[in-house]
Structure 1
Amino acid sequence: MHIRLAQLGDVQAIAEIYNQGIEDRSSTFETQPRTSMDVQPWVADMSRHPVLVVEVDGAVVAWANLSSYRARSCYVGIADFSIYLHRDVRGRGIGKALLKALLGEAEERGFWKVLSRIFTFNEASLALCQACGFRTVGVYEKHACLEGRWLDCVIVERVFPSNQPGPDDEAAGA
């Protein structure tokens, strides 16, 4: 297993893995498959928000990324994260290694918080987050509708105290 920053040559594999998550209806409200062109902008500019991939035997089998939480400058140190694994490699510890690597990237890049929303029935993702030091903040009830069914989402966060700005820092202001 090799974890690294994604490259433009990985966008097709990233899209295919993401599309499995869309098909499974267990990880995202998205319903339209993604193409490599949809994914390319994520990988083309990773100056602030990295995309990591896991290779096993030369094939990309998982990816994770950070994305912007909100546009306001006071939230510059907060990132949303996503993580997706190919169906064939789930349950083998790859997700934990990948999420830990992504958290390392987040901390190195100065983020003070990483968060996500996870379907309440996605027990594997909830366990993964707990194992990686996330805390449960609460539940968004009826967060969105997926194929006619309203779904709740657990809000999880991981804070990096070493990166939190002081009260006089510009990023800390509202």
Structure 2
Amino acid sequence: MNILIKKAKLEDAEAITEIYNQGIDERASTFETKQKIVEEITDGIKGQGERFPILTAHSEHNHLIGWASISSYSPRDVYKGVGVFSIYIRRGYRGKGIGKKLLQALTEEAERIGYWKLTSRILEFNAASRSLCISCGYREVGIYEKHSKLEGKWIDCVVVEKIIQKNIN
């Protein structure tokens, strides 16, 4: 499958919202429980700027099938080179290598911007996301035990990170 990766545009907000809400409904990718509305995602796209990109993956028919983003790890200046990434793939397109292309592109974008590390937290039972990160050179750092209570059940999450060697001085 040919995949085109590009920076998110305002017209992508509806599709990004739909994909994110799939992840919320499935309870396997995020601790978020409240459905997003298009206006929230639109605001995020408007505010992405250079430091916090949102990338989208499109099929050969220009159908938006995934997205990934970098957000702030901390407002403290000493962490300016650490970003937190998120990645979501549309149901029906998972397991086809789209996530890998998108995460590789996001990591390259982070390198270009000057990040020295990307990190994320993955729900411990989400084997697909953990495998994706490992295949892209991320390492599992450790486990946050009982990190959140989702629908009455304690959930652990795995911390992953990748050092971007080019930006380590």
TM-score range, shorter chain: over 0.9
Cross-structure match for 1:168: none
Name segments (4+ residues, structure 1) moved above 2 Å: none
Q: Give me the whole-angstrom Cα distance separating, in 2, the residues matched to 1:87 and 1:96.
A: 15
Number of corresponding residues: 165
Equivalent residues in 2 for 1:56-67 (5 A)? 56=59, 57-67=61-71
Q: Which amino acid aligns with 2:153?
A: R
Question: Percentage identity across aligned positions?
Answer: 48
Matched position secondary structure for 1:88: coil
Q: Give me the whole-angstrom Cα distance separating, in 1, the residues matched to 2:77 and 2:153.
A: 35
Matched position secondary structure for 1:87: coil
Cross-structure match for 1:146: 150
Cross-structure match for 2:89: 85
Q: Which amino acid aligns with 1:161?
A: Q
Cross-structure match for 1:72: 76
The correspondence for 2:50, drawn from 47, 50, 60, is 47
Identify unmatched segments of 5+ residues in structure 2: none
Q: Which amino acid aligns with 1:23?
A: D
Cα offset for 1:36?
Answer: 1.1
Cross-structure match for 2:26: 24
Q: Give me the whole-angstrom Cα distance separating, in 2, the residues matched to 1:61 and 1:42.
A: 18
Identify unmatched segments of 5+ residues in structure 1: 166-174
Q: Aligned Cα RMSD in Å? A: 0.8
Cross-structure match for 2:128: 124
Q: Give me the whole-angstrom Cα distance separating, in 1, the residues matched to 2:43 and 2:73.
A: 17
User: What's the TM-score, normalizing by structure 2?
Assistant: 0.96
User: What's the TM-score, normalizing by structure 1?
Assistant: 0.93
Deviation sequence 1:14-39 (CA, Å, 0-9, x none): 00000000000000011111011111
Q: Give me the whole-angstrom Cα distance separating, in 2, the residues matched to 1:113 and 1:42.
A: 22
